[in-house]
Each structure stands twice: as structure tokens, then as C-alpha cells.
Amino acid sequence: MTTASLAAYLDSTNLRLDATDTDLRTLCADARRGGFAAVMLYPGSVPLAREALAGTPVAIGTVIGFPHGRSSAAAKEAEIRAVAAAGAHEVDIVMNYADLREGRRAAVAAELGTLASVSRHLKLLTKVIVETCFLDRTQKLAALALCEGAGVDFIKTSTGFGADGATVDDVKLFADHRHGAIRIKAAGGIKTLSKAQALIAAGATRLGTSSAVALVQEEAGGQVISNF
């Protein structure tokens, strides 16, 4: 894998609670120079990213109902509409996994169906975060089926705020049991090239990471890449 091909997998992320505007402009500048797939930041920072990334192919991604997923469907829809108007291209929506764990699948299906429909109308790519660390195997497969039923673009493993992040086993579980074209985003705890490569080999086509620059530098053999 080349540094450019690895970079194309990466959603370079800064969801730190203490992130400054300077931090976020650096995130965007690194993504622009490195050719990352997207930046991921909070909804209120989408206008900053739109300005910083104007004229570049880097997508602007943001999070909805983050990190708990327990906002109402109406609140999540309002967030989606607001970030679309602000210039976002992708939304990573936290599933109400609490409802899923309590067996309220119909409620989860209804919410995802509405949010996916609204996002499609607004031409936003959709990734649904299911927080795998809090789900058992049966619930993970149910989450996959619900995401497929709603027609979202990606199922995403984790927020990075839960008890654990992405695992190879969870990515492989989704890859082996999907029935259609849904893609897989792994996120949470991806700090080494070996882990990134293992997740890609298991079936992930996007990686959410706060270590994007370090990963491409590791891919380059530890050399300082001239882009950065």
C-alpha cells in the first residue's frame, strides 16, 4: 500500500473537547496536503472546515447525536439539516443503540429510515455509528440489518468515546454478514499502521482516526513526508 492509497481510507478526526480553531485548521491543512478522504469535526466547526477546504476534494464530515445516540429523531434530523446548510458532505449518525439493546428495534428502524431519507435528499453520505463495544453478537448483526434496511452508506463501529474502539473481529463480522453494498467504517483506537492494515484487510473501506498523519508517515517508513 502506498501512502496515497492509505490516505484515501482516512477520515482524519478531531473531536477533542478542548480542540481550538487553530487545531481544526491544522486538521484541515493536513487533510488537504495528505489527500485524506475526509475530516471529521463537530457540527459547529463545519463552516470553518468549509472555508479551510474550499476548492479541495477533501470531504467535510460531522457527527450527529454524538456520542450517546439518545437525542430524539427530530433533534438528529434538525442537526442533519443544519450541517447540510453549513456545507457538510458526510454525516456520522449515532444510532440509538440503547433502544436496540432494550429490544426496541422498530423504533431504531423508524429513526434510521427517516434520517437516511433526509440525508439522501440533502445529498449527504451517511455513516451510522452502532458502538459495537456495548453490543453482543446478536445485537451487532441486528444493527447491521437495520442499517442495511435503512439504506445507509456505511455502518461504523465506534464513536471513540465508548469502552473500546474498532476491532478486526467486528469489522469481519459485518463484512461476512452484509447482504448488499453497505460499506464499513472502523473507528476508535486506530493508532498504528498494523492495526489500520488489519482493519482494511478485514473489510473496512474507511478508517476514522485522530492519528492520520502519523499513520501515513509510518507507511512511508518513518520518514518525514514532504507534504507535512
Containing 41, the helix (H) or strand (E) segment is strand 38-41
> Which CATH superfamily is 3-219 part of?
Aldolase class I (3.20.20.70)
pLDDT 10s per residue in the chain (228 long)? 899 999 999 999 999 999 999 999 999 999 999 999 999 999 999 999 999 999 999 999 999 999 999 999 999 999 999 999 999 999 999 999 999 999 999 999 999 999 999 999 999 999 999 999 999 999 999 999 999 999 999 999 999 999 999 999 999 999 999 999 999 999 999 999 999 999 999 999 999 999 999 999 999 986 655 565
Whether 160 contacts 187, CB under 8 Å: yes
**Is residue 156 flagged as an active site residue?**
yes
pTM of the model: 0.96
Catalytic member of 76, 127, 185, 195 = 185
Which residue ranges make up each domain of the chain? 3-219
Q: Choose, from 76, 127, 140, 156, the residue flagged as catalytic.
A: 156
Known active-site residue 92: yes
- 140 catalytic? Reply is no
| Active-site annotation holder among 92, 153, 170, 195 | 92
What is the number of other CB atoms lying within 10 angstroms of the CB of residue 220? 17
Distance separating alpha carbons of residues 160 and 106, to the nearest angstrom: 26
